[in-house]
Amino acid sequence: MRLIVGISGASGVIMGYYLLKALRQIPDMEVHVVVTEGAAKTFEYETELSVAEVTALADVVHDHTNMAASISSGSFKTDGMIIIPCSMKTAAGIAAGFATNLLLRAADVCIKEGRKVVIVPREMPLSRIHLRNIKELSDCGCVVIPPVLTFYNGAQSVEKQIQHIIGKILMQFGIDYKEFVPWEGAE
């Protein structure tokens, strides 16, 4: 399996790190990563991780300005893309087909090729403009997984909440995640 991970400059870049760690554990998984300039700044603000530490978890790292990268073409086959977190700027760019960086172009390619694109939009509250763009992405076939809190699984820490979100994302690609606690039903 080959996936693209885009990390854009919204709050919550740590979720991208957790996703890359989870994908690293999957045999025969090839991961391509694109980190935007905004995401690199957000890693500095929100974490003690360097971008180099984060991208070291991927098989291939693409510069966000390299519009000639392999993932910029539909002839480079992938199983899809995950954008985590997905800033509202990124959502707007994808929705408008305004591919001014490699992350936007890779998403555009996945959509045009009918490949799965999962976005994890990160903003609160959502304006009508944000909702319109997210709806447009959903109408184009993107799966929208907002990073909302869950409580039925006993997730008492931020890390457990993130692991739940990662599990929900990976389910979209048919991947089981050992840290995910599914709902088992109640009597």
CA separation for the pair 127, 110 (Å, rounded): 26
| Residue 89 marked as a ligand binder | yes
Residue 152 annotated as lining a ligand binding site: yes
Q: What is the DSSP string of 104-169?
A: HHHHHHHHHTT-EEEEEE--SSPPHHHHHHHHHHHHTT-EE-------TT---SHHHHHHHHHHHH
State yes or no: 41 annotated in a binding site. Answer: no
122 annotated to bind ligand: yes
The annotation status of 168 as a binding-site residue, yes or no, is yes
Q: Is 8 annotated as a binding residue?
A: no
Q: Is 36 annotated as a binding residue?
A: yes
Binding residue ranges for FMN = 9-11, 36, 87-90, 122
Binding residue ranges = 9-11, 36, 87-90, 122, 152, 168
Binding residue ranges for dimethylallyl phosphate = 152, 168
